[in-house]
Amino acid sequence: MTGRIGVVTFPGSLDDRDAIRAVELMGGEGVPLWHAEPDLKKVDGVILPGGFSYGDYLRCGAIARFATVMDAIRGFAERGGPVLGICNGFQILCESGLLPGALIRNRSLRFVCKEVFLRVETTATPVTADVLPGEVLRMPIKHGEGQYVASEGDLDRLEGDGRVVFRYCGPDGEVDDVHNPNGALRGIAGVRNEDGNVVGLMPHPEHAVDPDVGPTGGQALFASLLSQAMAGVP
Amino acid sequence: MRYAVEVLVTLKPGLADPQGKAVEGALPALGWTNVRDVRVGKHVRFEIETDSEDAARDQVGSMASRLLSNPVIEDSRILEVRPA
């Protein structure tokens, strides 16, 4: 049996096809899901891909959160189903309240497109369960609004509960301002919900699975997602 | 009744406002060197059909917190509700 991972297409999604391709390169079955349909097609996990859903109007992810498919995804997440939001997908999960915090304009005010290093901070998520804690993964970022913010109190709680999943870092895992590409508070690149089954990150693991075209830091995350999705079908 | 509504959405105090910083950084080049603490927000205008002004204010309050602003990072304020 192969893990079936649904990938949602919103109006303005860009990376849906890359996400499906990444799932399939890693041995799973990618299932296209449509924003206007409530049917999740019995998938074992869901990916909200990157892009500019609804033109990023009002705020990134603000309008996509009300799409028909999001009700089904909320129910799927509440039953413990793995949900991964990448870039715009992360913004949508924050806007929908499934993840804490928010993403605002990069500190530099510029769109940033480059490869970064990420340090894995917790293995208590479906995408990092099979990764070593502290492991450094290389993958690209490409966003204008990726600066993660939350109140100091919320940040302390997130840290205390082990809900920071990824931090921007240097090649040896050093977390410092130099390696923070967007001004994210405490270098946070990705977080998880309380139960750990909903994860969002700004960097793009789906663009980092094929050694012919770049780094392969995304492989471990997809491999982990596939094995976890198969282990605990909600 | 039809009401004309204006809502102001601003980034919460204390949160970094890169847009405000950029505007602030550009002002001295034009000779205005005495400006500080620039913050950039959003001004939303629309018309709404309800039975009363109270009903309009109630609905606009919900709209402001659920869609027009993100309460995690923004404050919203109804600037005006007047008969259209």
Cβ pair A185, A143 in contact under 8 A: no
> Tens of pLDDT along A136-145?
999 999 999 9
Q: Which of A58, A102, A105 sits opposite B72 (nearest CB)?
A: A102
How many Å apart are CA A123 and CA A146, to the nearest integer?
23
How many Å apart are CA A187 and CA B45, to the nearest integer?
37
Q: Do B73 and A104 touch (CB under 8 A)?
A: yes
In the DSSP assignment, the letter for residue B37 is -
Res B27 pLDDT > 50: yes
Which ipTM did the prediction report?
A: 0.80
Cβ pair B81, B60 in contact under 8 A: yes
All structural domains of chain B: 2-83 (3.30.1280.10)
Q: Cβ neighbours of residue A139 under 8 Å, at least 6 residues apart? A: A115, A116, A118, A203, A204, A205, A207, A208, A215, A217, A218
Res A234 pLDDT > 60: no
pTM of the model: 0.92
How far from A215 is each of A96, A204, B38, B82, CA to CA, in Å? 31, 11, 41, 57
How many Å apart are CA B6 and CA B81, to the nearest integer?
7
Cβ pair A93, A82 in contact under 8 A: no
A64: number of CA atoms within 13 Å, CB side? 31
- Helix (H) or strand (E) holding A78, with range, is helix A68-78
Q: Which structural domain, as residue segments, surrounds residue A131? A: 4-231
How many structural domains compose chain A? 1
* CATH code of the domain covering residue A14: 3.40.50.880
Mean pLDDT of chain A: 95
Is B30 within 8 Å of chain A by CB? no
> Tens of pLDDT along B28-82?
999 999 999 999 999 999 999 999 999 999 999 999 999 999 999 999 999 999 9
Residue type present at position A91: Q
Buried b or exposed e, range A21-35, using 16+ CB within 10 angstroms: bbbeebebbbbebeb
How many Å apart are CA A66 and CA A35, to the nearest integer?
10
Contacts of A149 in chain B (CB under 8 A): 15-16, 73
Res A163 pLDDT > 90: yes
Q: Which of B16, B22, B67 sits opposite A62 (nearest CB)?
A: B67
For chain A, the 3-state helix, strand and coil shares in percent, each to the nearest 5, are 30, 25, 45
Cβ pair A132, A162 in contact under 8 A: no
pLDDT at position A229, please?
Answer: 86
Identify which of A43, A28, A32, A95 has the alpha carbon closest to the alpha carbon of residue A73.
A43
pLDDT at position A232, please?
Answer: 63
Percentage of chain A beyond pLDDT 90 is 94
Identify which of A132, A210, A114, A111 has the alpha carbon closest to the alpha carbon of residue A168.
A114
What is the β-pairing status of strands A188-192 and A164-169? antiparallel
Contacts of B15 in chain A (CB under 8 A): 104, 149
> Tens of pLDDT along A55-94?
999 999 999 999 999 999 999 999 999 999 999 999 999 9
Q: Which of A87, A121, A169, A207 is catalytic?
A: A87
Looking at chain B, which residue has its C-alpha nearest residue A91?
Answer: B70
Residue B67, both tokens = 């869609």
> Tens of pLDDT along A41-59?
999 999 999 999 999 999 9
